[in-house]
Amino acid sequence: MTASPSSSAQQARHVLANRLAELCRDAGLTGLGIARLCGWHPSKSSRIINARTPPSANDIRAWCQACGAEDQAEDLIASLRTVEDMWIGWRRMERSGLKRAQEARLPLYQRTRRFRSYSSWLVPGLIQTRGYTESVLRAVQRRRVEVDDVAEAVTARMERQAVLYEGGRRFAFLMEESVLRNGLGGADVLIEQLGHLLTVGSLPSVSLGIVPDRPGRTRMPVEGFWIFDAAQVNVELVSGYLTITQPSEVATYADTFAELADMAVYGPDSRTLITSAINSLG
């Protein structure tokens, strides 16, 4: 399991380690005893108990057998999978192609009622045009994915956009002004995308803010992130996909979003920036 920068993932790893340590104590065993019964080096048990090394599924089965708690193995393995899913490297997430990664997020979007998205480098996926999405996913595929299922992945992302037009949801999108001029896909693709922003920004359920490029700003750009209701944050980093569920950490991202939102312009002012970007390409 790759180490995650998220305190949510770290906390979950400690919870799993504590449960294994409790089984050990309940069985009257020490870490050394567990290691002897499992045929491990003594330091391995210590690393697992102190959450320095994550156990594998086979490690958990051996641990439970040594403690006489085989009936708890599958629940603990399920907890391990939950921890692993908090931080997923791109290689693991996209090993079978991009379509599956797009489809995997659909249930989250369907159950969310309040979306907040901040982007410092790309137009958010829910408000991308097909041409822009194809350019984004093609660039991703060329950089890190061997399987070429870009066409299918584009269709999956377009289908996910249906939530924009379903009732009972609110969307707040924030973008840095530089996103309007990133050149991805070429002039024609970007002009179409910017025109789409003007259309989407007029939807009653959508708030579209642009953080202007201007001197004296009080908050530096940060990594792009999504907040789903008040329950979960997802962050796309260079190395992988981070899921945050710890309330205090989610609140930190919500505070950051609010600060950036205060710096953004909306309505006629945001449309002026978008139109200016279109004219610069025309």
Q: Are residues 67 and 146 in the same domain?
A: no
pLDDT for the residue 84: 66
How much is the pLDDT for 1? 42
With 80 as the cut, is the pLDDT of residue 10 above it? no
Q: Are residues 50 and 158 in the same domain?
A: no
CATH code: domain of residue 208: 3.30.870.10
Least confident of 86-95, 143-152, 237-246, 252-261: 86-95
**What pLDDT does 85 receive?**
66
How many structural domains compose the chain? 2
Q: What percent of the chain has pLDDT over 70?
A: 95
Read off the pLDDT of each residue in 122-126 and give the average, rounded to a whole number: 96
Q: pTM of whole model > 0.85? A: no
3-state secondary structure the chain: CCCCCCHHHHHHHHHHHHHHHHHHHHCCCCHHHHHHHHCCCHHHHHHHHCCCCCCCHHHHHHHHHHCCCHHHHHHHHHHHHHHHHHEEEHHHHCCCCHHHHHHHCHHHHHHCCEEEEEECCCCCHHHCCHHHHHHHHHHHHHHHCCCCCHHHHHHHHHHHHHHHHCCCCEEEEEEEHHHHHCCCCCHHHHHHHHHHHHHHCCCCCEEEEEECCCCCCCCCCCCCEEEECCCEEEEECCCEEEEECCHHHHHHHHHHHHHHHHHCECHHHHHHHHHHHHHHHC
- Are 235 and 195 contained in the same domain? yes
Q: Are 187 and 244 part of one and the same domain?
A: yes
Task: Answer yes or no: do 106 and 204 share one domain.
Answer: yes
Q: Across residues 184-191, what is the average pLDDT?
A: 94
Domain end residue (candidates: 86, 106, 125): 86
Of 86, 119, 144, the one marking the end of a domain is: 86
- 184 with 214, same domain? yes
What would the two tokens of residue 137 be? 């996913």
Of 50-64, 74-88, 210-224, the one with minimum mean pLDDT is: 74-88
| Model confidence band, residue 82 (pLDDT cutoffs 50, 70, 90) | low
In this structure, the answer to whether residues 197 and 115 fall within a common structural domain is yes
